[in-house]
Amino acid sequence: MLRVIACLLSIANLSLAIPAAFGADAYPAKTVRIVVAFAAGGSTDLLARSVAQRLNEAWKQSVIVDNRAGGGGIVGSDHVAKSAPDGYTLLLGTNTTNAVAASLYAKLPFDPQRDFAPITEIATIPQMLSVHPSIPAKSVRELVALAKAHPGALNYGTAGTGSTSHMAMELFQSVAKIKMVHVPYKGTGPAMIELLGGHLSLMFDVIMTSLPHVQAGKLRTLGLSSLQRSSITPQVPTIAESGYPGFEAIVWFGLFAPAGTPADIVRKVSEDTARALAQPNLRELLASQGADIVASTPAVFSGRVTGEIGKWRKVIQDAGIKPE
135 shares its domain with 213? yes
Chosen domain end from 209, 226, 242: 242
Q: Are 35 and 68 in contact (CB under 8 A)?
A: yes
97 shares its domain with 131? no
3 occurs within a structural domain: no
CATH number at residue 136: 3.40.190.10
Q: Are 131 and 143 in contact (CB under 8 A)?
A: yes
288 occurs within a structural domain: yes
292 shares its domain with 237? no
Total number of residues shown for the chain: 324
Fill in the amino acid letter for 51: V
**Beta-sheet pairing, 116-125 with 292-293:** antiparallel
**Beta-sheet pairing, 181-184 with 251-258:** unpaired
Distance CA 93, CA 81 (A): 11
Distance CA 281, CA 286 (A): 9
Given this model, what pLDDT does residue 3 score?
Answer: 52
Given this model, what pLDDT does residue 24 score?
Answer: 65
Chosen domain end from 219, 242, 265: 242
Q: What is the percentage of the chain residues whose pLDDT exceeds 70?
A: 92
All residue ranges of the chain with pLDDT < 70 are: 1-24
Given this model, what pLDDT does residue 23 score?
Answer: 56
| DSSP type of residue 18 | H
131 shares its domain with 231? yes
176 occurs within a structural domain: yes
171 occurs within a structural domain: yes
147 shares its domain with 223? yes
R_g of the chain, CA atoms, integer Å: 22
Considering its fold, how many domains does the chain have in total? 2
Distance CA 36, CA 255 (A): 10
Domain with 84 in it: 32-124+250-319
Chosen domain end from 242, 275, 301: 242
